[in-house]
Amino acid sequence: MDRILVVEDDRELSQGICYALQREKYIALAAYSLKEAEAMFVKEDIALVLLDVNLPDGEGFSFCRLVRKQGVPVLFLTARDLEEDALKGYESGADDYITKPFSMKILIKKIDVAFNRMQGMQKTGFFDGFLAVDFEKAKVEAGGKECNVTPTEFRLLRCMIENKGQLLTYSVLLERLWDNEGQFVDKHALAVNVNRLRRKIEDGEHKYISNIYGMGYQWLDG
Q: CATH number, domain at 52?
A: 3.40.50.2300
Q: Which candidate, 42, 37, 64, 68, places its Cα nearest to that of 53?
A: 64
Number of domains in the chain: 2
Question: Does any domain span residue 135?
Answer: no
Whether 30 and 110 map to the same domain: the answer is: yes
Question: Does any domain span residue 119?
Answer: yes
| N-terminal to C-terminal alpha carbon distance within the chain | 22
Residue 81: which pLDDT band, with cuts at 50, 70 and 90?
A: low
Q: Could you report the per-residue pLDDT of 9-56, keeping only the tens digit for each?
A: 999 999 999 999 999 999 999 999 999 999 999 899 899 999 998 899
Rounded CA separation 28/6 (Å)? 7
Whether 188 and 121 map to the same domain: the answer is: no
The residue out of 92, 127, 162 marking a domain boundary is: 127
Residue 155: pLDDT over 70: yes
Whether 24 and 94 map to the same domain: the answer is: yes
Q: What is the CATH number of the domain that holds 166?
A: 1.10.10.10
Write down the H helix ranges in the chain.
11-23, 34-43, 61-69, 83-91, 104-124, 151-162, 170-177, 187-201
pTM: 0.61
Question: Does any domain span residue 197?
Answer: yes
Tell me the residue range of the domain where 109 lies: 3-127
| Per-residue b or e along 132-147, where b marks 16 or more CB atoms closer than 10 Å to that residue's CB | bbebeeeebebeeeeb
For residue 18, the model assigns a pLDDT of: 97
| Per-residue b or e along 48-69, where b marks 16 or more CB atoms closer than 10 Å to that residue's CB | bbbbbbebeeebbbebbbbbbb
For residue 137, the model assigns a pLDDT of: 85
Q: Could you report the per-residue pLDDT of 108-147, keeping only the tens digit for each?
A: 999 998 888 777 666 678 887 788 888 888 899 988 789 9
DSSP 129: S
Whether 154 and 111 map to the same domain: the answer is: no
Q: Could you report the per-residue pLDDT of 171-218, keeping only the tens digit for each?
A: 888 877 764 454 556 788 899 999 999 999 998 888 999 999 889 999
